[in-house]
Amino acid sequence: MARLTLKDIRHSYTPNPASDADYALKRVDHVFEDGGAYALLGPSGCGKTTLLNIISGILRPSEGEIHFDTLDVTDLPTEARNIAQVFQFPVVYDTMTVYDNLAFPLRNRRVPEDVVDRRVREILAMTGLEERAKRRAKGLTADDKQKISLGRGLARPDVNAILFDEPLTVIDPHMKWTLRTQLKELHRRFGRTMVYVTHDQTEALTFADTVVVMYEGEIVQIGTPEELFEHPRHTFVGYFIGSPGMNLLPAEFDGATVRVGGRPVALPGTPQRPSGERIELGIRPEFVRLGREGMPVSITKVEDIGRRKIVHASLEGETIAAIVKEDMEIPAEPHVVFDPAHLNLYADSWRVELEDRP
Amino acid sequence: MLELRDVSKTVSGERHISDVSLALEAGSLNVLLGPTLAGKTSLMRLMAGLDQPTAGTVHMDGADVTGVPVQRRSVAMVYQQFINYPSMTVYENIASPLRVAGTERATLDRKVREAAEMLRLTPYLDRQPLELSGGQQQRTALARAIVKNARLVLLDEPLANLDYKLREELRAELPRIFAESGAIFVYATTEPSEALLLGGKTATLSEGRVTQFGPTIEVFRNPADLLTARTFSDPPLNTIEVEKKQSRFLLDGVGGLPVPPALSDLRDAVYTLGFRPHHLSLEPRGQGAIALDARVTVTEITGSESFVHLDYAGNPWVMLEEGVHRASGGEKLTVYLDTRHLLVFDASGRSAATHRARAA
């Protein structure tokens, strides 16, 4: 296992990048600690796969260095980096049995056959592939093949890191739960450095201890799932994490409070008056309380999604979403209250610290 | 209206579709929900006329269209893989079905621009599909399906390859876009949450059979059998097998759970109890919540919610709680089951008591 250090990495797919816009990765300076479980989360085109390919050696960065512990691997090819990789689409040897597919990376490294057998059996049990162990991979379903890919990625205990690129996209929802918890359990038991690229917030948040959120070639926030949910540093994080994302309402300063469409909203602390032009109040739908008191809203749509309802409403001409429990009756004259402890303030999209916040 | 009457499809001795009867109304949104290989794509191919059923008939507005090939039906399809003509611009891609139909120029232009606007493709009309992101490519395919103005629109996991947030947005727009067209809209997905967000009606599929068909939220709340309940649960349905003896649900002949008053007239027999992860909680909710002592296996925290994986008498369960709960593996935990939402299935897997429990 190793600590992965990215030093001032920049990458451009064009030969002579002139401006920031020419860079797929604008600047990444980050350390993935030894034994950590990390997720790189962001929409397509945000640079997360570029970053992963730089770690794995598929791409050489235009600028900067990458170190595994103290070794500079910037110019080393993938084979020399001693990493395991799992891709979005299954990579299996069709003519080999499931068992031999899983044993392949170990036999390649001349691991004694009794150790191979023990390890392969563990992985077969974990992925639920025991019954198919002796079958050839050809003819298996896409998700069974992907389980083989995942299993192979986990087979070798001595790798520097395991890199996952959207590994569960082709897996059925029920199997996702099983594989995800097993990955997490495995990480807890063996403490390997894992970097997991995904655009799926649930996967990223449940898998990783630390989530790196990327947007337009830059890291916009690094934090625990809780931090990303409670205090998004950038409005993009507020929007991208959570479903629906954070409500953002244009606001104006008025002393210790802000006004939304003329209505004062008390803040949980005193904002330093930011220099930004555009002030927005951020409140997650989970913390918008719907009831008979507070600010009047008109409801435009109620989506019953089973375990909860998403209420879409209009507040002072702005659209907002609120999440309510499945059994809740929607009041006839609806009002909303914002849970003050969960208000965030943004100036030009970046979060403003509030002083004396409890 | 599209009707399938006792439709079956056998391919080299293997049953892909078994005795499916469905009636889909004009202007309706119908979700086919089921795991990989449940028969969603096979069923859609039969609806489209791409395949012919081995038994049974297909009717469109009363007329038997069973043998009619896809070219002579009014059908549009969108697949998981984005399919566009790579050498044509986005504009020409969207226009292609209209050109085939010999649509007059001014009408063609108006329809293409309307569809492009609806799917937010206006800035990209002059580009070629491969210069676009996956989401834009799929929106091009969707726009083409819209201008075709087909009576039957089949979408086979159309958002599966797209970003999470983009899916969220398109999912919200799609029902509206297709409702305006008045077409019969069929949408296949493996994800229960996607079915719930789309609304409309849902047919749950399992091994080539339709296990239930009805308004989406109804099927979710009152599954007719255990298979449907499992298919329509994400996180997975929690279950436990019990034997009812008077006022107790016994586990292995002992202990177990008290029978909630609403289920007291259930006859004594063996049942499978089912309930969804959000009906377990750390504090009792609702009247008649039952306390259960479980052991934590692993906890997943999303920041807003916690998925606490539990072991209860050898049954793997998941509890979905709001907020952050750091329970660690091995820890004993008392959890509460909200019995108002308890599902009860008899030995054959049929629902024994869902409605009664709800009415109480």
Read off the pLDDT of residues B134-143 as tens digits, 9 standing for 90 and up.
778 888 999 9
CA dist B342 and B332 (Å) reads 23
Q: How near does any CA of chain A get to the CA of B319, in Å?
A: 13
Reported as half-sphere exposure (CB side, CA atoms, 13 A), residue A243 has a value of 20
CB contact under 8 A, B320 and A307: yes
Decide if A88 touches B, using CB distance below 8 A.
no
Q: Are A24 and A11 in contact (CB under 8 A)?
A: yes
The segment with the largest mean pLDDT, out of A191-195, B85-89, B215-219, is B215-219
What pLDDT is stored for residue B241 in this prediction? 94
CB contact under 8 A, A306 and B324: no
The mean per-residue pLDDT over the stretch B284-293 comes to 88
Chain B residue whose CA is closest to A181: B298
B318 neighbourhood in chain A, CB within 8 Å: 177
What pLDDT is stored for residue B136 in this prediction? 85
> In this structure, what are the phi and psi dihedrals at residue B207, rounded to the nearest 5 degrees?
45, 50
How do residues A176-199 score in pLDDT, each as one tens digit? 888 888 788 778 877 889 999 998
Residue B18 burial (CB < 10 Å; 0-12/13-18/19+)? Answer: middle
Decide if B25 touches A, using CB distance below 8 A.
no
Strands A161-165 and A194-198: parallel
Q: How near does any CA of chain A get to the CA of B134, in Å?
A: 8
Per-residue confidence band for B360, with pLDDT thresholds at 50, 70 and 90? very low
B320 neighbourhood in chain A, CB within 8 Å: 307
CB contact under 8 A, B302 and A225: yes
CB contact under 8 A, B300 and A184: yes
CB contact under 8 A, B165 and A230: no
The mean per-residue pLDDT over the stretch B206-210 comes to 96
CA dist B35 and B125 (Å) reads 36
> In this structure, what are the phi and psi dihedrals at residue B283, rounded to the nearest 5 degrees?
-120, 145
CA dist A220 and A350 (Å) reads 10
Q: Are B31 and B198 in contact (CB under 8 A)?
A: yes
Strands A270-271 and A354-355: antiparallel
Q: How near does any CA of chain B get to the CA of A109, in Å?
A: 33
**Neighbour-count burial for A213-226, b at 16+ CB within 10 Å, e otherwise:** bbbbbbbbbebbbe
The mean per-residue pLDDT over the stretch B109-136 comes to 89
A342 neighbourhood in chain B, CB within 8 Å: none
Cis peptide bond N-terminal to A173, omega within 30: no
Q: Please provide the average confidence, as pLDDT, over all residues in chain B.
A: 91
What pLDDT is stored for residue B357 in this prediction? 45
Residue carrying structure tokens 């916009």: A220
Contacts of A294 (CB under 8 A, 6+ apart): A335, A336, A337
B191 neighbourhood in chain A, CB within 8 Å: 173
Decide if B133 touches A, using CB distance below 8 A.
yes
Q: Is the pLDDT of residue B158 over 70?
A: yes
Nearest to A352 by CA among A295, A254, A247, A276: A276
Which stretches in chain A have pLDDT values below 50? Answer: none
* ipTM of predicted assembly, 2 dp: 0.86
CB contact under 8 A, B164 and A284: no
Nearest to B202 by CA among B214, B184, B190: B214
Chain A residue whose CA is closest to B162: A44
CA dist A150 and A320 (Å) reads 40
Nearest to B220 among A185, A224, A306 (CB): A306
User: Which DSSP letter does residue A353 get?
Assistant: P
What pLDDT is stored for residue A357 in this prediction? 66
CA dist B139 and B93 (Å) reads 11
Q: Is the pLDDT of residue B358 over 80?
A: no
Secondary structure (DSSP) of B212-276? EEEEHHHHHHS-SBHHHHHHT-SSPPEEEEEEEETTEEEETTEEEEEPPGGGTTSPSSEEEEEE-
CA dist B160 and B169 (Å) reads 13
Decide if B278 touches A, using CB distance below 8 A.
yes
